[in-house]
Structure 1
Amino acid sequence: MTLTLLFSAPDRAWPSYETALPQALKAAGIEAHVTREAAPEAVDYIIYAPNDMLTDFTPYTRTKAVLSLWAGVEKIAPNPTLTQPLCRMVDPGLAEGMRDYVVGHVMRYHLGMDRHIHGLNGAWDHITPPLARDRSVAVLGLGELGQTCARTLAALGFLVTGWSRRPKEIAGLTCVSGSEGLETVLRRGEIVVLLLPNTPETENTLNAETLALLPKGARIVNPGRGSLIDDDALLAALETGQIGHATLDVFRTEPLPQDHPYWAHPNVTVTPHIAAETRAQTAAEVIAENIRRGEAGEILLHLVDRAAGY
């Protein structure tokens, strides 16, 4: 039987998946028709990113699962009409892109590269950076992306401590959890990487109180979610020197408004949500595998805990 797969996502996503999805499905031995329009009662699986065309999942009575194109599902999971299983995207290409971005900016801070990139103005300022083994890095969030980044930084020799809301044991990493663990990891975090999901519990994880726990002059890298940081508190901490610099890739409002103080702040680097992007080729393989599992009666990959929101 040929399956009907509805691709429901913003128009800009379709060109890269139009070829990648059929190729991945064929390689997985799945007979399927991928379409952008179909009668709801005929749809077996929905490949989805939030869009105005599909906000009510009630008519999709035959649909076995909704397969998100995004790692974050905070805009999908709360939908009361969504009763089908929801799977978030865990894409190897996305993880590799995030790893590259995080390692690049951590190394930038570790080596003090800005001093040389912006010029020493003729001053032979001979400052040797410490070795990685003497630099403490805190990774907040130990999901797939957080683990990938934490492991890579640890392999480079950094003193990595990972924090998650719930206890985790990860080979080769020092892991802490809960409110006490957060205080511990922040007090030692010379460089802090934020890779937590966007939930009510994680909003403003970095606020006036928690920013004050960091070592004086700490650096922040946030490619996770804009809501993880209290913007006013960060700007205040930058002004006092409590935070030395912040690299921010995600924001509460995107694109970041042109009059936002982050743009002009000398100790803020703004990047336009480029840290990690889902790659169609590898993402299509994940989608195809989940459909294969669904048809075989196996447990789907990356099922979302609706109560937790991720």
Structure 2
Amino acid sequence: MAIVIIRQDGKIDAWKKALKERNPSIEVYSYLEEHPKESITMALIWKHPKGTLAQYPNLKCIASAGAGVDYIFDDSTAPTNTPITRVVDPYLASDMSEHVLAVILAELKNFNTYKLQQVDHNWNPKEYRRIQDVTIGIMGLGELGALTAKNLVKYGFQVQGWSRSKKEIEGVQAFAGQEQLDPFLNSTEFLVCLLPLTPQTEGILNRSLFLKLPKNAYIINVARGGHMVDEDLLHALDSGHLSGASLDVYHEEPLPGDHPFWQHPKIFMTPHYASVSDTHSVVPQILENYERLGNNRELLNKVNRTKGY
């Protein structure tokens, strides 16, 4: 039994070190070094190069190092019967909640507008809004969405949520299913997307959806770039229907230098860093599943391949 780490962000050594610190006897390899492929039973991955998973004949678990797994399903060469696990990390949820709160408060108090005015030496006070004056709508009430909703309620926001199946969260008005999507959108002034990316949710942030939001609604996408139809967002912003958007995720990352998002005055961008897996928090659950593999026990945080999350 051995683990191979496959990722392209320069963090392999950090993850390798964290695993070895917790269990010095474990065999851990980088996919970039010489290693016994037939001994690999777990692949710990994040946005791996397509085709790499197919190289391991005895792979028994594909462990995503983050909460998302859509990139695994995008790899047509990945094993189709190998169990997939994902990270369920309290730090991921709390970090995401803090990011969303910061974005909303910055928009309520016109911080992004003032930054643009500062560059132009433009002194122009704007009317601001208060927490109790706006309704936040969260699409997706999994671990990240549920905690974000709960925390926003604590701060005094009016919060509603929409999900595939009905969720009960204290203080949050719950909507569920396609038949309740329109009423959810009609009363949402800040729309936060925290949906998993599946064939059913791909491109859901489109022109039709934007037009169902109140005029001057604000979009926050911290889920996946595949949820957004870029051209439709630009049209909704330029037409004046949407007041702005905060984006942390994109179809291509890093975002190409010629993409219109870079220069758009109504778009605030962050580089897919709203919520990042912490090695010290995540490694214990990776090792727990590694031990479960060796003992033929049920894996934790297993992904439902049919649902895609």
| TM-score bin (small chain) | 0.7 to 0.9
CA contact (8 A) 1:65 1:87 kept: yes
Match of 2:38 in 1: 41
CA contact (8 A) 1:91 1:286 kept: no
Match of 1:129 in 2: 129
C-alpha spacing 1:187/1:39, structure 2 compared with 1 (3 Å): same
Distance 2:275 2:20 in 1: 24
1:75 matches 2:71: yes
> What is the letter of the counterpart of residue 71 of structure 1?
A
SS at match of 2:27: strand
Q: 1:155-234 maps to which residues of 2 (within 5 A)?
A: 155-234=154-233
Give 1:295 shift: 4.2
CA shift digits 1:239-269 (9 cap, x unpaired): 1211000111111122222222111111111
Give 1:11 shift: 6.4
SS at match of 1:244: strand
Distance 1:48 1:252 in 2: 19
Distance 1:269 1:12 in 2: 26
| Range with greater deviation from structure 2 (288-297 or 150-159) | 288-297
Give 1:157 shift: 1.1
Alignment TM-score, normalising by the size of structure 1? 0.87
CA contact (8 A) 2:18 2:279 kept: yes
SS at match of 1:137: strand
CA contact (8 A) 1:66 1:85 kept: yes
CA contact (8 A) 2:159 2:171 kept: no
CA contact (8 A) 2:218 2:244 kept: yes
CA contact (8 A) 2:3 2:43 kept: yes
Sequence identity of aligned pairs in percent? 33
CA shift digits 1:277-306 (9 cap, x unpaired): 222221212212322444455432211111
SS at match of 1:139: strand
> What is the letter of the counterpart of residue 129 of structure 1?
R
Match of 2:285 in 1: 286
> What is the letter of the counterpart of residue 178 of structure 2?
S
Q: 1:17-96 maps to which residues of 2 (within 5 A)?
A: 17-25=15-23, 31-36=25-30, 37-49=34-46, 50-51=48-49, 54-56=52-54, 59-60=57-58, 63-77=59-73, 79=76, 81-96=79-94
Distance 1:123 1:11 in 2: 42
Q: Figure out how many residues of one structure are paired with residues of the other and give that number.
A: 300
Give 1:176 shift: 1.1
C-alpha spacing 1:128/1:248, structure 2 compared with 1 (3 Å): closer
CA contact (8 A) 2:5 2:16 kept: no
C-alpha spacing 1:257/1:9, structure 2 compared with 1 (3 Å): closer
CA contact (8 A) 2:16 2:29 kept: no
Distance 1:94 1:216 in 2: 32
CA shift digits 1:97-137 (9 cap, x unpaired): 22221111011122333344435944565x3523x233100
Relative contact order (C-alpha < 8 Å, sep 6+): which is higher?
Answer: 1
CA contact (8 A) 2:64 2:87 kept: yes
Distance 1:147 1:205 in 2: 20
Alignment TM-score, normalising by the size of structure 2? 0.88
Match of 1:253 in 2: 252
> What is the letter of the counterpart of residue 129 of structure 2?
P
| 5+ long unaligned stretches in structure 2 | none
**Moved >6 Å (runs of 4+):** none
Distance 1:150 1:286 in 2: 25
